[in-house]
């Protein structure tokens, strides 16, 4: 890039940011960082009726969680502020008045009722929806009459009735729109707030945005923006429209596919480095095989040319796999810190965490390989903290054994464990493997019985490591509980 790169992420606080929205922010951030440019955050809060409380905070928290730091915008300031469009209303009003005075815009006095009737008639006639330009050529007398009636007008742009508007999209190439397919769109609403079209153009110019990187759904808005740039005598930025994220069924991503707030993924226990890597590879790729890429590798290699022209699939299974890879890459301390909030929220683990951190630190390595999400960890470790397991007799009696042989095996194991020194993984294995043969059992039978006895589960971390972490006292107590269960069955 020969010129300075300046890009912006301009969300509307009408909801919490979902994965598609944040993927756009990520592409902008990567492009800026790759070229040593600026990443701007601008809050487009002009849709007053649809504002959602807490949405701005969620937007900024989402960016912070993923490490998408911004050079200008809320909280950090900058030379092109303010960065909330609701604080820039006078600028939009002046621009609209300028367009009116030079004949490129006009006041429209049509009532909501008239517009609704017009649209219904268009639907009936199977015509494309759009404003019929009823107020475009009102005489000064007609305008004065409307003003006298106290009607507060909107301002509409006067779209040329002929010709074409074309632009070169850096992903899709040459894009052409016939002007006669565009209606006279609103610039300024009757409440004094601008529409997206006006505010977007005014602010992108004022903030010296070099590239507009946004989802392909905005392609149809681009000719309107170009006509505005032309009417205002401004040089437009370069346009980059990236494909949408699709669900596995290739339909537009919805909540059933995973289009929820990005912060929901944080709550579920996905790591920020996972989401950064995963989102970057939805619709962009280094090659046909590289899946795991560090933040710096993505910055170093990011280019618009590698963005796909077709919609990319949101693959939840791939996300889970990738999160497992990143969880396994954490150090013991990092994993402990990351999983702490999830364990603290789990009632069974709360007291143990507070009272015995070292015990928890022994447990976590046993489940780090198995966890796909941090939120999985409480369920995977709960049996370590429970005072009493809810043993199921049918599960306790493994295939090929009965109540009597199970009781005998547990009684012998209890006796040997009481004398075992030291009570560690290696000593447990050295004791229990030959003991299976001594009892006339397969190792799988004895180990299966002990696994259920010690954990209450048929699938758990490695048996000897688990028993070593539980310790002699807990293991013996759980064997006693199992024998008690069997005794009641035989009574």
Catalytic residues: 255
Residue 107 DSSP SS3: strand
Cα gap 215→25, rounded to integer Å: 10
DSSP state string for 431-475: HHHHHHHHTT--HHHHHHHHHHHHHS-SS-S-HHHHHHHHHHHHH
Q: Which of 481, 411, 419, 474 is nearest to 446 (CA)?
A: 411
Q: Tokens for 261, please give them.
A: 């707030």
> In the chain, what is the straight-line distance between the N-terminal and C-terminal CA atoms, in Å?
84
DSSP state string for 16-75: --BHHHHHHHHHHHHHHHHTT-EEEE-B----GGG--TTHHHHHHHHHHHHT---SBBTT
Residue with tokens 């508007």: 165
Q: Tokens for 445, please give them.
A: 């039978």
Cα gap 450→9, rounded to integer Å: 56
Q: What is the dihedral of CA 474, 476, 478, 479, to 10 degrees?
A: 160
- H-only helix segments in 185-290: 196-206, 222-232, 262-268, 272-280
């Amino acid at each position: 890039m020969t010129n300075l790169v300046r890009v912006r992420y301009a969300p509307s606080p009408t909801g919490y940011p979902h994965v598609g929205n944040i993927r756009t922010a990520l592409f902008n951030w990567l492009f800026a960082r790759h070229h040593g440019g600026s990443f701007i955050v601008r809050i487009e809060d002009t849709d007053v009726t649809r504002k959602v409380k807490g949405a701005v905070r969620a937007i900024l928290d989402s960016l912070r969680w993923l490490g998408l730091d911004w050079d200008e915008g809320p909280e950090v300031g900058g030379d092109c502020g303010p960065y909330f469009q609701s604080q820039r209303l006078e600028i939009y009003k002046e621009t609209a008045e300028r367009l009116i005075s030079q004949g490129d815009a006009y006041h429209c006095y049509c009532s909501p009722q008239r517009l609704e009737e017009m649209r219904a008639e268009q639907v009936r006639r199977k015509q494309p929806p759009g404003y019929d330009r009823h107020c475009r050529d009102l005489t000064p007398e007609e305008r004065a009459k409307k003003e006298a009636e106290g009607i507060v007008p909107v301002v509409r742009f006067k779209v040329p009735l002929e010709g074409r508007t074309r632009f070169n999209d850096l992903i899709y190439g040459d894009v052409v729109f016939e002007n006669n397919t565009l209606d006279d769109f609103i610039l300024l609403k009757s409440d004094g707030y601008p529409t997206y079209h006006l505010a977007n153009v005014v602010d992108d110019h004022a903030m010296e945005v070099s590239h507009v990187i946004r989802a392909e759904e905005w392609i149809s808005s681009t000719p309107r923006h170009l006509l505005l740039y032309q009417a205002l005598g401004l040089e437009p930025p370069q346009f980059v429209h990236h494909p949408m994220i699709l669900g596995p069924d290739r339909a537009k991503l919805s909540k059933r596919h995973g289009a929820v707030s990005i912060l929901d993924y944080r709550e579920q226990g996905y790591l920020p480095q996972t989401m950064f890597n995963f989102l970057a590879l939805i619709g962009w790729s280094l090659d046909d095989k590289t899946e795991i890429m560090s933040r710096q590798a993505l910055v170093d290699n990011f280019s618009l040319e590698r963005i796909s022209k077709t919609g990319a699939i949101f693959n939840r299974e791939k996300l889970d796999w990738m999160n497992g890879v990143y969880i396994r890459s954490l150090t013991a301390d990092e994993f402990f810190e990351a999983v702490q909030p999830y364990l603290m929220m789990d009632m069974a683990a709360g007291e143990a965490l507070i009272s015995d951190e070292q015990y928890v630190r022994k447990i976590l390595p046993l489940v780090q390989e198995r966890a796909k999400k941090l939120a999985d960890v409480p369920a995977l470790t709960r049996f370590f903290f429970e005072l009493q397991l809810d043993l199921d007799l049918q599960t306790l009696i493994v295939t090929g054994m009965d109540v009597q042989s199970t009781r005998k095996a547990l009684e012998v194991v209890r006796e040997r464990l009481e004398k075992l020194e030291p009570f560690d993984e290696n000593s447990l294995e050295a004791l229990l493997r030959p003991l299976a043969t001594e009892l006339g059992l397969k190792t799988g039978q004895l180990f299966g019985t002990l696994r259920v006895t010690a954990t209450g589960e048929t699938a758990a971390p490695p048996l000897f490591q688990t028993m070593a972490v539980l310790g002699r006292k807990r293991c013996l107590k759980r064997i006693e509980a199992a024998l008690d269960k069997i005794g009641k069955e035989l009574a």
